[in-house]
Amino acid sequence: MKISVFIHAIAVVVMASCCSSAKKENVAMIKENPKVVATVVDSLKARYANIDVAHATKGVTQAAELWYEGDGDEKEFVKFCMESYVNDAVERRVLFQKLSEKFELLFGHFNQLDLGLKRSLHEVGDALGDVDYRMGEFDVTAHFNDDMFDSKLAFATIVNFPSYSLSEKQQMGEGWSRQEWGYARLGDLFTSRIPAKLRQEASAAGAAAENYIAAYNIVMGSLRNDANEALFPAGMKLISHWGLRDELKSSYADSKRGLEKQRMIYAVMKQIIAQEIPAKVIDNGERQWNPIANKVYENGKEATAEREQDIRYQMFINNFKTLKAEDPYVPLLPTYSHRAFEGSMEFSQEEVREIFTQLISSSQVKEVAKLIEKRLGRNLEPFDIWYDGFKTRSSIAEDDLSAKTVKAYPSAAAFEKDLPGILQRLGFTAAEAQRISSKIEVDAARGSGHAWGAQMKGDKAHLRTRIPANGMDYKGYNIAMHEFGHNVEQTISLYDVDYYMMNGVPNTAFTEALAFIFQKRDLEVLGMAEKNPAKNHLMALDIFWGCYEIMGVSLVDMAVWEWLYANPSTTPAQLRENVMRIARKVWNAYYAPILGEKDSPILAIYSHMINTPLYLSNYPMGHLIEFQLEEHLRGKDFASEVLRIYSMGRLAPQLWMKRATGSEVSIDPMLKAAELAVMQLK
C-alpha cells in the first residue's frame, strides 16, 4: 500500500464503523499454512536485496496470526503484504512520522470524547440520571480496532512495524535508538482483534463497578460505639476504602480516642468485605450503626436491617467475565492476567509475585514492626498495616492541617490557580511551572479523585479531588498532591518526548512513583517543611511499611484472579467466601505473626479489586520505584531531574530505571535502608 493511500485511509477510518464491510469470520486462516508466510518472505527477499529478513519475517508472521477468513484468501494475503511492505529506511521513517501524527489525532479526540461522556459521573454536579450512566459506560474506541483491521490499516502497520515480546524488549532494547523504540511502540498497537461488542461490554461492566464504588460512602457521624457515642463529626462522609483508610491513618495523631476510632473503622471494613454491612447505612446517615456489634438503630431503638447483597462480588464477576471473553482474540497474551502483567506492566506475574513475597517475608518486617510497637506503646493490631507515624504530619492534628488547606484552597479554581506556585516551591523555574500548569485543569470530584491525562498536544490533563463546600480539607489536599504528581508526569511525558509513540511511562507504577513523591512533599508545599535530621530514615521506613501493606493486598488480588480462571462459573456468594479465604491465607502466612490476629480478611478491602481489575500491583511497584527515585534525587536539583527522567517516555521498565537512576527495580536498596533506619532510630 502506498504511503499516500495509507495515510488518507487512516484519516477517515473512524467513519468506517457505519459502513464497514461484511463481518469477518473469527477464523485465523493464514497461520495454519506457514508456507504462505515463507512465500511472502521469499518474494520480498527477491525484490529487495538489502532487506532485513528477520524484521520482514516477524511482521508477515504477526499479520498472518490475525488475518481472518473474511479478510481474503491466501493469494490476497500475499498480494497485500507485497504491496504494503516498505523496505526503504527513509520511506519507513516518513510513514512512521505520519502514522504518529494521525494516531495522536485519533487518540487525542477519542480521549476528549471519553472525558466529556464521563464528566458528569466524575465531577460534582447535578443529580445523576440514567443517561449519565449509559453515556459513561459507552466506549468511544470500541470500533477502532475493528475498523483498522477491516480497512487493513492495522495489517499494513503490523507488516512494517511488528511488535516485540517482553523478553525481546528486555534483551534487545538497550541497543535500540529512540527511533527504534518508537517503531516498537507503534508495533504494540495491533496485537489483538477483540470485537467491538466485547470491548463495549467490558467498558460497561467497568463503568458500572466504578459507579458502584464512587457511591460507596460511609456517613461517619452516624456510627456508634457500645455506649451509643459518636466518635466522628456529623458532616464526615468517607468513601470506601480510600477515605476510611486515610481517616484510620490520621487517627494516630489522636491520643485520646484515636485507637477506638481505628477499631471502629476496622470493624466497618470487615463488614464491607463480608457483605454483612446493612444496606441501609451505605451512603445514608439517617440511621445509627454500631459496626462492631453490627446493629442498626432508628430513633434510639434497634431496627432490623438486611445486609447488602453480594453486589461487591457481582461487580467483580462482571468485570472478570467480560475481560475473560476477550482471551481468544489476543494470541500473544491469552489471559487477562497476561495482559495486565506482561502486557501493561511489562513485568511477568511470576517476577512481581517473587519480589513481593521476598519483601513481606524479610527479617526487616519484624524489626520495623518492633519499632512501631515501641512507638505506639501497645501490641500491634491488624489495622496497623496502615501505621502512619513515620510521617511528620502524623504528629499534627488533622483539624489543624485542614484549617490551613481550607483557607488556602476554598475551591477547585483556587487550587488550580496555585499550581504554578506549588511547582515553584518544589524547585521548578517560574517559566517551567507556568508551562506545565497551563496544561492542567482542576475539577471537584464526585468520587475519591483521580488524574486523567491528555492524549494529544494542545489538550489538558485533568486533576480530580474531593472538595467539600467549605473548601479543600487535608484529605482532599493530600490526594490532590498525589494526582498533581500524576498530571506533571502526564504532561512532561506527552509534551517533552521526542516521538509521540513513546509518550507516557513504561507502566502505571512509574506514574504512581512520581505521584507518591509529590504527595510526600505536601507539607513542604504548605510551608511546613520537615526539619527532623532523621527524615531520610523515616521516609525509608514509611515507604517500606507501605510496601509491606500493599504487597499483601496485591498477592490476594492475583490469587483471586487465578481462582476465578479455575472457577469461571462462580456465584457472587462463592466468590465472597473464596476472596475471604484467600485474604486470610495470605494474612496468616505473612501478617498474623507480626500483627497478632489470625484469620483477618482485611487485605481484601481495597476497592481496586472491584473497579480496576489487577491494577493493585502497580502501587507496590510504584513504591519501589519511588524509593529508588528518592534516593537518586537526594542532593540533586529536583525539578531538572524530574524533567529529564520523565521525558524519556515509554522505554521498557528496567531500561527506564537504569537510565533514570543507574540501577534496575529491586527491593535490595529498600531492605538495606530499612535495616539502617531501624538501627539509627532504636
Summarised one tens digit per residue, pLDDT across range 604-623 is 999 999 999 999 999 999 89
pLDDT (tens digit, 9 = 90+) per residue, 84-121? 999 999 999 999 999 999 999 999 999 999 999 998 88
- Looking at residue 482, its pLDDT comes to 94
- Looking at residue 24, its pLDDT comes to 45
Confidence of residue 452 (pLDDT cuts 50, 70, 90): very high
Based on the domain organization, do 299 and 317 belong to the same domain? no
Could you give the CA distance from residue 404 to residue 313 in angstroms, rounded to a whole number?
A: 40
Answer whether residue 15 shows pLDDT above 50: no
**Residue 659 located in a structural domain:** yes
Average pLDDT over residues 349-368: 97
- Write down the mean pLDDT value for the chain: 92
Based on the domain organization, do 346 and 489 belong to the same domain? no
Based on the domain organization, do 622 and 549 belong to the same domain? yes
Average pLDDT over residues 49-60: 96
pLDDT (tens digit, 9 = 90+) per residue, 310-323? 999 999 999 999 99
Based on the domain organization, do 513 and 494 belong to the same domain? yes
DSSP 600-632: --GGG--THHHHSTT-TTHHHHHHHHHHHHHHH
Residue 490 to residues 44, 193, 522, 574, 659, Cα–Cα distance (Å): 41, 28, 19, 40, 19
For helices 618-633 and 349-360, what crossing angle results, to 10°? 70
**Residue 422 located in a structural domain:** yes
- Print the domain residue range for 247: 217-274+276-309
3-state SS, residue 596: coil
pLDDT (tens digit, 9 = 90+) per residue, 503-512? 999 998 899 8
Based on the domain organization, do 223 and 337 belong to the same domain? no
Q: What percent of the chain has pLDDT over 70?
A: 94
Beta-carbon contacts of 73 under 8 Å, excluding residues fewer than 6 positions away, are none
Based on the domain organization, do 540 and 653 belong to the same domain? yes
Answer whether residue 390 shows pLDDT above 50: yes
Beta-carbon contacts of 250 under 8 Å, excluding residues fewer than 6 positions away, are 388, 398, 474, 475
- Looking at residue 643, its pLDDT comes to 98
Residue 677 to residues 74, 214, 253, 375, 576, Cα–Cα distance (Å): 66, 38, 22, 14, 40
Q: Looking at the 3D structure of the chain, how many domains does it have?
A: 4
Neighbours of 74 (CB within 10 A): 16
**Residue 377 located in a structural domain:** no
Answer whether residue 166 shows pLDDT above 50: yes
Answer whether residue 448 shows pLDDT above 90: no
Among 153, 175, 203, give the residue marking a domain's end: 203
Based on the domain organization, do 516 and 601 belong to the same domain? no
Beta strands in 114-222 (DSSP E): 217-219
**Residue 209 located in a structural domain:** no
- Looking at residue 169, its pLDDT comes to 93
Based on the domain organization, do 18 and 160 belong to the same domain? yes
DSSP 44-94: HHHH-TT--HHHHHHHHHHHHHH-BGGG--HHHHHHHHHHH----HHHHHH
pLDDT (tens digit, 9 = 90+) per residue, 255-288? 999 999 999 999 999 999 999 999 999 999 999 9
- Looking at residue 394, its pLDDT comes to 57
Is the pTM of the predicted complex or chain greater than 0.85?
no
Based on the domain organization, do 557 and 511 belong to the same domain? no
- Looking at residue 392, its pLDDT comes to 62
**Residue 211 located in a structural domain:** no
**Residue 67 located in a structural domain:** yes
Answer whether residue 591 shows pLDDT above 90: yes
Based on the domain organization, do 97 and 230 belong to the same domain? no
Could you give the CA distance from residue 204 to residue 200 in angstroms, rounded to a whole number?
A: 6
Which residues pair with residue 223 across a beta bridge?
A: 289
More confident residue, 243 or 468: 243
Among 309, 326, 356, give the residue marking a domain's end: 309
**Residue 437 located in a structural domain:** yes
Is the dihedral angle over the CA atoms 103, 109, 114, 115 positive or is it negative? positive
Based on the domain organization, do 237 and 270 belong to the same domain? yes
Based on the domain organization, do 191 and 118 belong to the same domain? yes
**Residue 381 located in a structural domain:** no
Reading the block at residue 655, the C-alpha cell is 531500561
Answer whether residue 395 shows pLDDT above 80: no
